[in-house]
Amino acid sequence: MRTESTANRGGSIGAAHAFALFTVFVWGFTFVSTKVLLEDFAPIEVLFGRFVIGLVALCALRPRVLRLKRRSHELLFIAAGLTGVTLYYLLENIALTFAHASTVGVLVAVSPLSTAAIAFVLGRERMHARFVVGLLVAIAGVALVCLGGAGVQALSVGDALALAAALMWSVYSTLVKRIADLGYETIASTKRTFVWGLLFMLPLLAPLGAQPDLSRLVDAANAGNLLFLGLAASAGCFVTWGMAVSRLGAAKTSAYIYLVPVITAVASAMILGESVTLAMAAGIVLTIAGLALSEGRVPLGRAHAAPPYEEVGTGASEKRDGTGRM
């Protein structure tokens, strides 16, 4: 029975890593899609449109309304909608109007560090030396991927907005972990988060330049990119990200965000014809090496060093089922 339980746990962990990889792969292409849409749409229009599509898709998939276990839990969903839907994507979209996609990508990718710091301060997760070193190596790789050949410039408005977006995503990831720990189902909780995010967007539509002009969607590129952002990047990836966070924890899952700018660089080369420099190629190698190190797949120090990451309260002596619950 213990062998079967161990196998189930290993399978669920493997699935969680697969969900995280799928999510960042799709998100890596979103910078290109968003950049295309920003030629004809305001940042708030792209944001509102993609999440309306995402919410409709999730409602069709799971029409049942989530029933709260406690009224106070609503505050978690409100905060998640504000930080992970409205503020994160609005800041990121506006940043893309001021800065290159590669620059925004590298700055947003620092969110695992702030996620880990928040989780550590709250006492929910702790990190060992291997995990921290892996993150630092990945940061170096991301810097080479996104800034290689472009040079490092002074902090601009776009840079500041991207850093603020990274902080919002860190808060969101921590909230998602808390919601999952309370036993809420991923799709239903994601749907509720989307509703709150859209409600926060409503008063921003007119002030930020939204126009009721649907003729822009006649363009196949606009319609296709908006559907991609709504169905795959929003509805699909918020669910898969939530599943990964619920099993791996906020800090460990957020480490995968380092792959986003790597994928963005490749997507830009394929779709937009941008060249991949030697520095960027070296950065890809460093980023993947950093992720492997943070996951404990690359040796560091003693042969029996502490695991790279642990959730507080877990250990080898604890028994968990395949879902990660005690």
pLDDT digit string (tens) for 30-86? 888 998 899 999 999 999 999 999 999 999 988 988 999 999 999 999 999 999 999
Is the pLDDT reported for residue 146 higher than 70? no
- CA gap 27, 237 in Å, rounded: 8
Handedness of CA 139, 112, 114, 89 (dihedral sign): positive
Read off the pLDDT of each residue in 149-173 and give the average, rounded to a whole number: 76
Amino acid at the residue 3: T
pLDDT at 7: 43
Residue 90 or residue 253, greater confidence:
90
Is the pLDDT reported for residue 281 higher than 90? no
Residue range 82-138, pLDDT digits in tens: 999 999 999 999 988 887 776 677 777 777 767 777 777 776 666 678 778 887 887
pLDDT at 82: 97
Is the pLDDT reported for residue 315 higher than 70? no
Percent of the chain with pLDDT over 90: 33
